[in-house]
Structure 1
Amino acid sequence: MKRTSLLLATGALVVPTAFVSGAVHAADESDQPPVERIVLLDPAKAAVHAAPGRARKAALEEVRAGQATLEAAAEGAGIDLGVEERFEYVVNAVSVTVPADEVADLAALPGVVDVVAPIVWAAPEPATELDPAVLEMALAKAARTSKDDVTVTDLTGVPQAHRAGHTGEGVEIGIIDSGLAYDHPAFAGRYLGGYDFAMGDADPYDDITGGAAGHGTHVAGIALGDDENMTGVAPEAKVRAYRVFGSGGSGATDQVVLAALEQAAKDGVDVVNMSLGDPTQRSTGAVALAVNALSDSGVPVVVSNGNGWAGPFSSSAPGVAEKAISVGSVYTESMPWMAFTLNDGSGDPIPFQIGNRNANAPSSGTFEVVEVTTGCQPLAPGSLEGKVALFALQYGSFTCRGMDQARVVRAAGAVAGLHYNPRGAEGSFTTSVCCGAAIDMPIALLRPRDAARISAAETPEITWGAYYTEARTASQAGMMSGGSSWGPGAEMEFKPDVAAPGEYVFSTVPPAMGYYSQLAGTSMAAPHVTGLVALLLQADPTLTPEQIREVLGNTATPMDFTGDPGRGKQPTAQQGAGRVDAVRALAVVSRGAPTASPSRLAFGDLEGRQGVRRIEVRNDGDGAVTYAVSHQAAVSAEPPYTNSWVPDDAASAVSFSRSTVTVPAHEVASVTVQVREPGTVPPGTLLGGWVVLTPTTAGHQTIRVPYQALAGDRDAVSAINPTLTAINTKMDNPSLRPTYSFNKSVPVTLDYSDTLSTNNTAYLLVSHGFPLLERYRMQVVDAGGNVVATPMDQRWAFRISGAGTGYQMLTWAGKDDNGDPVAAGTYRLRLVFEKALGDADGAPRTETWTSPDITLVR
């Protein structure tokens, strides 16, 4: 069976103009409680597809008329519909409340494309704190000392791009996240405004509590920050902030995220960053469709691919949207810290963190350091004038805390403080400065061993403005992160598109959180690409989102196998086209060099047949260019679809319609690609690599087009996750148990004749690992095979195998679907897995499992 994505064949989507309408009520009230739903109407009519001006005004009127027709139709059908929000600019949709038993009637109304339940997008997880053991692996001071080289990794060539004048000037970036600390010096003069859709006001200031605290500010800093201590990828771009995550780390509803996308479109931003995602959502969801529509309107949308730690088929929505530029995460070469140097002759910089709520650290200047050991006793006025004070945390005192000491040394004239915990781990920074109001003096938090270095110096002086870096191991630096989510999408979409540095990236956080921090994940990789998109748009403002994807993919660098670089290339299912390269991408745009499209090839499952695709090479230059055509294989990935995937060196057999292709000036030439699966891999093995176009004409760059394919028939892959029992051999999967327990599957007796008996519930543990089930059911069948109950019936179920140990526990307590007791007798539980994208040509798309007997006694 040849599979392609289940994406809607439309070019438009859904985004809201968020205004409240009066509800439309049917004459007869329903007894069913109302549920929230998003009603998707004809996406092609979304106003963003019309040209600005009169055409767009007419399109808006047509959208509103269509939504009014929906309301009238619902009233005529007796549907108790409450309209909450309307989305009309980027997508044609209405957020409603409707009785649960009337949803099907609503979906059947004329003009309704789909009715979907909105989700809540989880706030980003708290940042992973840096393990002191990792800090201990410092190898040497930074070889490069400029903020451009250290705070923006040179893995992608951004410092070189800056030196060539590519800074993002004139480009507006929209950040949809937890907000922005726009008072940070890194955004001075470049914040254009925004909106807080989470709280419903015009101030999108970043959250400083909860898991998402500082996330949006850190993301924005990577994309475009710039001050004395750090530089982002596009340091002269401007920013608009759209806050969607609420205080304390609360999630964002579909409606809130859609409203933010629509506002970004109306504000006219040039590129949007979305460092958010959900691995249990499809590419046909409302937000994913909105991303497609915004891209179709000319605004590229860059999305993090997710931090799954879960192996193949773990990409998140909305990154799985066809038009999204989804980004995986690469290990940086080193972990940078702000630092100062000490005149002790060692030359080794001393790293520090900035004490929260106080002034930012300076970027230059040399100052004498005086150690203050008298706690909070007043010092003589002027005794520390123009000097830096070193002071330790005082134990056993509630009246002489860190900030109390800071105020004492400030009153004596100190210009900065160095604070440390003398009882802390040698490799750990003091975590904060407690307590009280902030002061206008920077306080650097040190490690105890560094404080000891300063104290031991004869006449210590420090010089601000250095950096300290901790090198990655050679098997990690510049390669894919183990936690970066894999593609393909659950419906065989090619994902991720590209990868970028995302592990322990130095960037901004709100001043109340210490100005700067290192965070890790695809949330940090996405804004790196967003900033690079801004550089490309500065170089050529006419670039379309698809052209940008082509340039990024064509010029990306394939990465070696993480942990074993000599083995080959990391699967394209995790790295996409590879690590972005700013210098090569800008060279293509600046020179009008040839590009290849499509930017990536998704072959789906091959089923033993030959997959065929065509690549077109476009040459806008004034001279013909000739390329040699070849194949570069990536390491293949065998099932299971967990982080216990099995690498396989067997590669696809790839052939071409021609061995060379010549593209005349201002013309297009094509080459056909044929891919066959190797005969030695199990069904479900992910294959990948690159079609490589190597120029034989001088002065041109190599072009690469990545591909993804799946060996055999995806339906032949078991729905049952084998990793669960491989890890724990004492368990079965699935496993019928008389209690909530983990062991082999056994017959169960449910005894309802004894009111004191606790044996009244059957437990079924299951871990399913198929990428996407169109329908997933647990049925109760009697001795004759008749279905007497369906306790669980789920549509569009994503795999729960995760890291390999994910499971769910289902139960049955001897009742039918109406809640009535079933008769005494023998029953079994049957799991029914209906695999998405299946058809009659290949393996059976439905897989079942039946439990041992359940004897019910009454």
Structure 2
Amino acid sequence: MKISVILSTLAAATLVSAGRFHDLGKIENTNVLPNGYIIQYHDNVGHKDAHNALNSRKIDYKVRNEYNIFNGAAITVNSKHDGKDIASLPGVKNVWPITLYSIPKPQKNTKKPTDPETVSLHSMTGVDIVHKKYKLTGKGIKVGVIDSGVDYKHPAFAAKGAKEGCFARWGKNCRVMYGWDFVGDEYTGRNAPKPDADPMDCGGHGSHVAGIIGANAMNIKGEHKPPQPFIGVAPEVTFGAYRVFGCNGSSGDDIILAAMELAFNDGMDIINMSLGGGSSYKLNPTAVLADKLIARGMALSAAAGNDGSQGAWMVSDTGLGDLASAVASFDNAYGFYHSFTYAGASHPYSVSQGWGKPFSLPASATIVPVFEKSGTLTDGCDAAIYNAANIKGKVVLILGDFSRCASGARGEIALKAGAAGMLIQTSPFGLANLGGNPGFPMASIENKAGDALLAAYKKNPANTATWSKEASNFMIEGGGAPSDFSSFGLDGDLRSKPDISAPGGNILSTYPLAKDGYAVLSGTSMATPYVAGAHALYMQAKKSKPNGDVIRQVFKNTATISTNTGSKTMASAAKQGAGLINVLNAITTTTSISPDHIDLLDTVNLKKTVKITIKNTGKKTETYTLSHVPADALNFYSEGAYPTGSPKIEDDYASVSFSQSKVKIQPGKSAKVTLRFKQPKKGNAAQFPIYSGFVVATPNKSGVPVHVPYTGLKGDVSKVPIMDTTKGFPAALHVDGEGNLKDIAKGYKFDMVDNRPVFVTRLGSHTPNFTIRVFDSKKVFRGFVNTLNAGSAVGWSGRQLNTDDENKMVFTPWIWTGKVLPTTNATAPITLPSGSYEIVVASQKKLTKGAYPADYEIFNLGSIQF
């Protein structure tokens, strides 16, 4: 086996010890801070007790931060002690290496700030009616933004009557009332932070997030006028700006924890956390603290992640807590567009950047589709294609396949042929952003509009087009559905994540004034603040501040269940959670269902019977009809042992029966209904399809129907492949002189100094305990591999990415030095004597008790001699 990847380019697996030290096992320290640890104490242990314990073991350390709600500290260790040593101290509950987080990279945008669909009209979430009818603005609610800071001087953050925003430390009547800079401009995650009192944003991400929550850019004039007016979800909230990122680089979770606690102490009602990433279990520091804060009365909105192209099991860090909301993304649905009417139907169009203005053409400029000899619509890249077509003075309709030429080239060809304009049918759907030509009217139209024009043209080629003078509100093809980039669940314990969705694709919002003031970004980072703003509207509407998990239940109960683009069946709950947030439904509903999700687990552990509670909070007796809405099943294992980036969509539907199909509930009372589930008859259990659906309670008289999502996996999850055997993993290799990994020759002997064996692994799904075990020549277990670059190979792990940002395959090399950790509770590795040792990669199967070897996926890599 040969894997031509230089070690320095490799990304890391997330590994955590099965004991109290959660050894994240990052490769070459790319993701962790060397010698930095986060410690969580037991509940009855205080900071003084912990210091005494550290000093008694003669651990030389420096305190980085101390936490009261989390009940712990972050330290840097200057002596040779490691996390195992710290975890062995009395009173210590958990120890993690300090992990570095980057601001999630925004997804590639296809829209420019002037495109109509970049502005959320809030129609898809009911926020528009909440603003107009109920006059809710989030006034009196405090929202903490833990991010890159906020450009508080931006006029979109100005209080009523003010021309620009301000920060309360240096101004009056400021919307940004609270905040702190934990790091300084030069902080990268690896150098010392230089905190100060000014949370000004130099990166942009935090300002964009804050704008989605509560900007008001409706009436700004002058040099900071937006490309088009827009308003945030809750335009009168009070902000707390907690800056945890410098102008570049990463941030340690030790700083993020400190920001979370300060936000709580400052009285924030809601915390927005548009950060995190990767595949994880819920026992990570930010998720632990998030649940503690929510239990104390806060709400917390966390990004589900932008790894939708990576396949299953990818919902990230902070939102994995039991009480937090992990937020997925939907693409924007509505926009104001100019349109044309043809054969009695109106169609929106998006003009090219080159033309830049609405079409104004005479009735004689009829629409003419241009075809290839095969009868298919042409892409317009060949000038000869127009020779046989009568297009002079007409608007040509062509196909938006840009694989052969760009829009400008085909516009030039059509202009020379005498065309009056061009409409390009977007493929596969939506409205494309065209470059075009300055002197030639060009625009994109939706794919469905192109089909409609073709059908109408065939019936009557003499149809004329009428071009609108004013823009109108249109729901755009491809909008209002889950974003492709939004991460798929489930989590490592088959829990239902993400929880809820919100608009996050192609969102225009505020940006630092030093960076043009406005930007269009996409990501779950953009969907998350939408949910944070929705929390503010809900709190204002109810004149109370319920815990975040209580509000999460309302949002999930009342969300809009959606299909994927072009589909007639509902998108999986493992993609959209309970659906797209509907704030109008949430504040007007008089019914609730608990719990807010149902985890059916797998076939072996199937929860066949589940009880739900329906509560009538209204003033009238109501009768509810129970029904079941199935959703797409997702098959990520149709091609082998590693999950595919995009699932195969299947119609594997569970069946649900009810103890009663109708239930009558008096005001203020509740009723329990028993649900009985049967897993899908269809679907290959050997390919582990994830099925889901929604149980709906519909009031017969009036009111909002409410629902609860369920998820399950057909098959035995303990048989889900953990190691990627399709690519030859795991394997024992060595590094050649050029840094490439190569097979080990028979009889090769390592000196363990200048040449060492490298064990390469690639995990396609979570495991509660990933290990690389060492046995001597007599088959006696000697310990777990301890490596030069990635710590000890023992502990839970999330799955690895299919590819990194450079499109390189992601795997983990474990560079062995001959040391082992003799037991999971050992505090230090030992060096084995020279000899021959057998190497075994063993990963605990999901939902098993962890008995070795019965509950493990095992690969014997053969013998290593040194």
TM-score, with structure 1 as normaliser = 0.69
Cα 1:582–1:820 change in 2 (3 A) is: closer
Matching residue of 2:306: 307
Counterparts of 2:800 and 2:104 in 1: how far apart (Å)?
20
SS for the counterpart of 1:523 is helix
Cα shift readout 1:464-494 (whole Å, capped 9, x = no counterpart): x99899985x3x3211112111222223332
Cα 1:615–1:162 change in 2 (3 A) is: same
Once the two structures are TM-superposed, the CA of residue 547 in structure 1 deviates from its matched residue by: 2.4
Question: Does residue 194 of structure 1 match 2:179?
Answer: yes
Give 5+ residue unaligned stretches, structure 1: 1-5, 9-32, 46-62, 208-212, 339-346, 354-423, 428-445, 455-464, 726-730
Counterparts of 1:596 and 1:219 in 2: how far apart (Å)?
31
Question: Does residue 241 of structure 1 match 2:268?
Answer: no
1:689-708 equivalent positions in 2, closer than 5 A: 689-696=693-700, 698-708=701-711
Cα shift readout 1:59-92 (whole Å, capped 9, x = no counterpart): xxxx8xx32233234444555454442211x321
Counterparts of 2:491 and 2:199 in 1: how far apart (Å)?
32
Q: Tell me, yes or no, if the aligned pair for 1:350 and 1:468 is still in contact at 8 Å.
A: no
Cα shift readout 1:6-37 (whole Å, capped 9, x = no counterpart): 9x9xxxxxxxxxxxxxxxxxxxxxxxx99332
Q: Tell me, yes or no, if the aligned pair for 1:765 and 1:808 is still in contact at 8 Å.
A: yes
SS for the counterpart of 1:173 is strand
Q: Tell me, yes or no, if the aligned pair for 2:771 and 2:784 is still in contact at 8 Å.
A: no
Counterparts of 2:330 and 2:757 in 1: how far apart (Å)?
45
State which of 603, 609, 631 in structure 2 corresponds to 1:634: 631
Counterparts of 1:276 and 1:639 in 2: how far apart (Å)?
26
SS for the counterpart of 2:575 is helix
Cα 1:690–1:447 change in 2 (3 A) is: closer
Q: Tell me, yes or no, if the aligned pair for 2:119 and 2:507 is still in contact at 8 Å.
A: no
Cα 1:570–1:744 change in 2 (3 A) is: farther
Once the two structures are TM-superposed, the CA of residue 852 in structure 1 deviates from its matched residue by: 5.8
Bigger relative CO (Cα 8 Å, ≥ 6 apart): 2
Matching residue of 1:292: 291
SS for the counterpart of 1:174 is strand
Once the two structures are TM-superposed, the CA of residue 611 in structure 1 deviates from its matched residue by: 3.2
Once the two structures are TM-superposed, the CA of residue 242 in structure 1 deviates from its matched residue by: 0.6
Counterparts of 1:511 and 1:295 in 2: how far apart (Å)?
34
Once the two structures are TM-superposed, the CA of residue 157 in structure 1 deviates from its matched residue by: 2.1
Matching residue of 1:92: 71
Matching residue of 1:214: 204
Counterparts of 1:304 and 1:468 in 2: how far apart (Å)?
32
Q: Tell me, yes or no, if the aligned pair for 1:779 and 1:791 is still in contact at 8 Å.
A: no
Once the two structures are TM-superposed, the CA of residue 176 in structure 1 deviates from its matched residue by: 0.7
Matching residue of 1:572: 573
Once the two structures are TM-superposed, the CA of residue 765 in structure 1 deviates from its matched residue by: 4.3
State which of 161, 171, 175 in structure 1 corresponds to 2:145: 175
Q: Tell me, yes or no, if the aligned pair for 1:643 and 1:802 is still in contact at 8 Å.
A: yes
Question: Does residue 849 of structure 1 match 2:862?
Answer: no
Once the two structures are TM-superposed, the CA of residue 115 in structure 1 deviates from its matched residue by: 2.2
Question: Does residue 539 of structure 1 match 2:518?
Answer: no
Once the two structures are TM-superposed, the CA of residue 617 in structure 1 deviates from its matched residue by: 1.5
Once the two structures are TM-superposed, the CA of residue 348 in structure 1 deviates from its matched residue by: 8.5
Question: Which stretch of the first structure deviates more once superposed, 311-320 or 99-108?
Answer: 99-108
Counterparts of 1:80 and 1:576 in 2: how far apart (Å)?
46
Cα shift readout 1:318-346 (whole Å, capped 9, x = no counterpart): 011111111101121267899xxxxxxxx
Q: Tell me, yes or no, if the aligned pair for 2:844 and 2:850 is still in contact at 8 Å.
A: no
Counterparts of 2:180 and 2:480 in 1: how far apart (Å)?
36
State which of 764, 767, 790 in structure 2 corresponds to 1:769: 764
Counterparts of 1:69 and 1:823 in 2: how far apart (Å)?
42
Q: Tell me, yes or no, if the aligned pair for 1:128 and 1:520 is still in contact at 8 Å.
A: yes
State which of 684, 687, 698 in structure 1 corresponds to 2:691: 687
Once the two structures are TM-superposed, the CA of residue 350 in structure 1 deviates from its matched residue by: 7.2
AA aligned to 1:322 is D
Matching residue of 2:215: 225
Matching residue of 1:378: none
Matching residue of 2:375: none
Cα 1:317–1:750 change in 2 (3 A) is: same
Counterparts of 1:788 and 1:68 in 2: how far apart (Å)?
35
State which of 532, 557, 562 in structure 2 corresponds to 1:559: 562
AA aligned to 2:526 is M
AA aligned to 1:71 is H
* Identity rate, percent: 27
Once the two structures are TM-superposed, the CA of residue 599 in structure 1 deviates from its matched residue by: 1.4
Counterparts of 1:108 and 1:733 in 2: how far apart (Å)?
34
Note the aligned Cα RMSD (angstroms): 4.2
Question: Does residue 621 of structure 1 match 2:601?
Answer: no
SS for the counterpart of 2:712 is strand
Counterparts of 1:841 and 1:687 in 2: how far apart (Å)?
29
Aligned length: 665
Cα 1:426–1:596 change in 2 (3 A) is: same
State which of 695, 715, 723 in structure 2 corresponds to 1:712: 715
Once the two structures are TM-superposed, the CA of residue 627 in structure 1 deviates from its matched residue by: 0.9
Once the two structures are TM-superposed, the CA of residue 106 in structure 1 deviates from its matched residue by: 4.0
Cα 1:803–1:329 change in 2 (3 A) is: farther
State which of 517, 520, 524 in structure 2 corresponds to 1:522: 524
AA aligned to 1:686 is I
Q: Tell me, yes or no, if the aligned pair for 1:155 and 1:478 is still in contact at 8 Å.
A: yes
Cα 1:323–1:820 change in 2 (3 A) is: closer
State which of 592, 596, 600 in structure 2 corresponds to 1:595: 592
AA aligned to 2:625 is A
State which of 74, 92, 96 in structure 2 corresponds to 1:112: 92
Question: Does residue 733 of structure 1 match 2:729?
Answer: yes
Counterparts of 1:184 and 1:170 in 2: how far apart (Å)?
21
Matching residue of 2:36: 36
Cα 1:770–1:809 change in 2 (3 A) is: closer
Give 5+ residue unaligned stretches, structure 2: 1-15, 19-32, 160-174, 185-194, 220-228, 339-347, 355-405, 410-432, 442-468, 638-642, 788-792, 821-828
SS for the counterpart of 1:40 is strand
Q: Tell me, yes or no, if the aligned pair for 1:781 and 1:788 is still in contact at 8 Å.
A: no
